[in-house]
């Protein structure tokens, strides 16, 4: 049986003690996406959405999400975040639809990584896009959501292999 670090000797949940871990520069990049109709896509790029600037509001929501990760993921440590950068890219997909690809890069100097903060940032961004556009298309598809890469810490660097990408 493998040992999970988030359980104590009695099998109960615990927050991992990172007090002895070395501080290092850490970075994580995560990706998610939202698939939508051409109408929603045009609404966003021409800024005709009745709720406002979809990408602008969603970007701020993603930054806020990264900063609040420890408040919504029970075992995440509250950490100082040194930077959050979100980017968007549009891709045409079959059947006259479009995909908004969302990437978040989160950085810190600390004793634990920022993978969860990057994943939360792209998830909250995607959910905000959905929320702002659902009146036009409730059939939007969110995801997949995944970690692209991370650096720093005792476990070393990780970079998602091309074959693993969705």
Active site residues per annotation: 131
Are 102 and 125 in contact, with CB atoms under 8 Å apart? yes
DSSP one-letter code for 88: E
- Count Cα atoms within 13 angstroms, Cβ side, for 29: 11
Are 104 and 122 in contact, with CB atoms under 8 Å apart? yes
Residue 23 CA to residue 9 CA, distance in Å, equals 27
Are 133 and 49 in contact, with CB atoms under 8 Å apart? yes
Query: By three-state DSSP, how is residue 56 classified?
Result: helix
């Amino acid at each position: 049986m493998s040992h999970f670090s988030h359980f104590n000797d009695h099998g109960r949940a615990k927050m991992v003690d990172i007090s002895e871990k070395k501080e290092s520069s850490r970075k994580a990049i995560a990706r998610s996406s939202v698939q939508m109709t051409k109408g929603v896509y045009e609404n966003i790029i021409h800024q005709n959405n009745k709720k406002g600037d979809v990408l602008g509001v969603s970007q701020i929501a993603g930054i806020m999400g990264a900063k609040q990760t420890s408040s919504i993921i029970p075992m995440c440590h509250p950490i100082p975040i040194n930077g959050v950068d979100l980017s968007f890219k549009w891709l045409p997909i079959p059947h006259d639809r479009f995909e908004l690809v969302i990437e978040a890069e989160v950085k810190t100097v600390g004793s634990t990584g920022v993978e969860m903060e990057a994943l939360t940032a792209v998830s909250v961004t995607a959910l905000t896009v959905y929320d702002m556009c659902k009146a036009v298309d409730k059939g939007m598809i969110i995801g997949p959501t995944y970690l692209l890469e991370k650096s720093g810490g005792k476990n070393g660097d990780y970079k998602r292999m091309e074959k693993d990408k969705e």
